Structure 1
């Protein structure tokens, strides 16, 4: 069995608890075997492509559901370039191979992981700190990246993400930039759910489908992470802005709150519970903590050269 211990109620645990309450819940292990997944993804040759996000204005925090999402306000944004997909395991592996970088989960005792629970009605029982969970071993001891090269890298902290971004000559987006790009990508700006399904009911994102938190029907093809690019891109040309994994931003969550904002929801967000896959939704985590369902993507300011 993986070397796991319950999360204490320290600062890191409180942040993980916030994410758990808002975004996840299950009574069984949810990571699906690569062999059972849909055969879909971007080609390796397409990795690292960026889409142009023009400057402009938008209303941030539209249709807020939770108090931290509002109020709606007008924001101006400078143009930037957005990586078209979440950073993959293969991309992160190339960074590690060249630089020798060691992630904080590898150095500091593991990462937050989902586990089977005998008391699924108790949300704290869904999470444990798995000392063997790292980006290399996403399911803990005995797991590896075979068949997952094109899945988004997880178990990475904001500090890890920023180190990778600097290596490729980019940076982590601000919350404003992330939400602006995601809102521009919506198929129907008047429907905050248009990012998860098409009018004919077909899936546009990897979220929790079925009865939350008891049954994941895998109606969208996945129970865990999906390879990047399995669903049609949004109107900007970017993939998986909605669902799959939460994405780090470089913006503090709130004044005097020592956590940073994450956006986009994950494969553990459902329609019948948290709905955190909406572009206005936001959650938070300490910059030096990581989980099984948080990754990132990179942006570049206009004028930056490719690294």
Structure 2
């Protein structure tokens, strides 16, 4: 592995939510990326590729901001569209590659960013490294593969990779406004911005980091890394995993003069005591030609367009 550039380190730091306090004692509960022994989820291979209809309407963009770059809240109107009910999976992306011969940017260039147990856990950035062997085919780096992960969201894909898939599959990537609008409509309790991660009785509704980030993951939600799509109840729109699991690309630039694009939804690396970006209004950014182990995507379609691959 090689060290990340300063620019990329800063971007990844932002994605994870900022620096943590120094932690003297390391306790890793069950490993970082060990999958749960039981992964009984609502979706199977036959159920992939579905879309839900998102009606047009108005909503408050950037409602209840936690970080300055999420606001100010403002009312916007959104045209109707169709939203893929789940994140694009490894099996779907494999079908695209088989049909087109597409090669991802991580496979062509420098690899992709991995988050792994560190020998210096008190240094947050040491948990991230650029692995030349990390790709969508080998999500944990050398020696790994996607055997048994067909229904997990594809990761280590750049914005450009996601756009290429979308063009083939008969869709497009959402804008930030479309994504946030759909996520907001899906909330179980519009008055509670965090109702996407837990029910009133405390039951998990999303795959996030449970425990002390980054050294203790209790796997209270059943997973330590990515989860197969559809393992948690869908939101009120019928869409799964709008919060948690993996961040999702949008086509919206993050801010004027910043050469990065907005990602939404948080991931399995967002914790209650650290990141708090598992809310509809939360946003972060990354360069469009960079990829990581915790960023994926889903598609949208315009209402008149109902065909396309899966």
TM-score, normalised to structure 2's length?
0.94
Deviation at 1:302, TM superposition (A): 1.2
Alignment coverage as a number of residue pairs: 302
Indicate conservation of the 8 Å contact 1:104/1:156, yes or no: yes
Counterpart of 2:256 in structure 1 is: 255
Indicate conservation of the 8 Å contact 1:23/1:265, yes or no: no
Deviation per CA, 1:123-146, whole angstroms, max 9, x where unpaired? 111110001000000000010011
CA distance in 2, matches of 1:288, 1:188: 36
Structure 1 residue 153 corresponds to structure 2 residue 154 = yes
Shift of the 144–83 alpha-carbon distance from structure 1 to 2, 3 Å rule, reads same
Shift of the 109–24 alpha-carbon distance from structure 1 to 2, 3 Å rule, reads farther
Deviation at 1:24, TM superposition (A): 9.2
CA distance in 1, matches of 2:38, 2:152: 11
Counterpart of 1:267 in structure 2 is: 268
CA distance in 2, matches of 1:102, 1:23: 34
CA distance in 2, matches of 1:137, 1:53: 34
CA distance in 2, matches of 1:277, 1:209: 12
Deviation per CA, 1:35-92, whole angstroms, max 9, x where unpaired? x342324111110000000000000111101010001000000000000000000000
CA distance in 2, matches of 1:272, 1:58: 28
Structure 1 residue 16 corresponds to structure 2 residue 17 = no
Indicate conservation of the 8 Å contact 1:95/1:167, yes or no: yes
Deviation at 1:104, TM superposition (A): 0.3
CA distance in 1, matches of 2:273, 2:193: 15
Indicate conservation of the 8 Å contact 2:176/2:264, yes or no: yes
CA distance in 1, matches of 2:124, 2:195: 29
Q: Unpaired segments of 5 or more residues in structure 2?
A: none
Counterpart of 2:135 in structure 1 is: 134
CA distance in 2, matches of 1:295, 1:165: 12
CA distance in 2, matches of 1:16, 1:221: 25
Structure 1 residue 195 corresponds to structure 2 residue 196 = yes
Indicate conservation of the 8 Å contact 2:16/2:269, yes or no: no
The ranges of structure 1 where at least 4 consecutive aligned residues each deviate by more than 6 angstroms after the TM superposition are 23-27
TM-score, normalised to structure 1's length?
0.95
Counterpart of 1:301 in structure 2 is: 302
Structure 1 residue 6 corresponds to structure 2 residue 21 = no
Structure 1 residue 113 corresponds to structure 2 residue 97 = no
Deviation at 1:23, TM superposition (A): 9.4
Deviation at 1:30, TM superposition (A): 1.6
Deviation at 1:274, TM superposition (A): 1.4
Counterpart of 2:239 in structure 1 is: 238
Provide the aligned C-alpha RMSD in A. Answer: 1.7
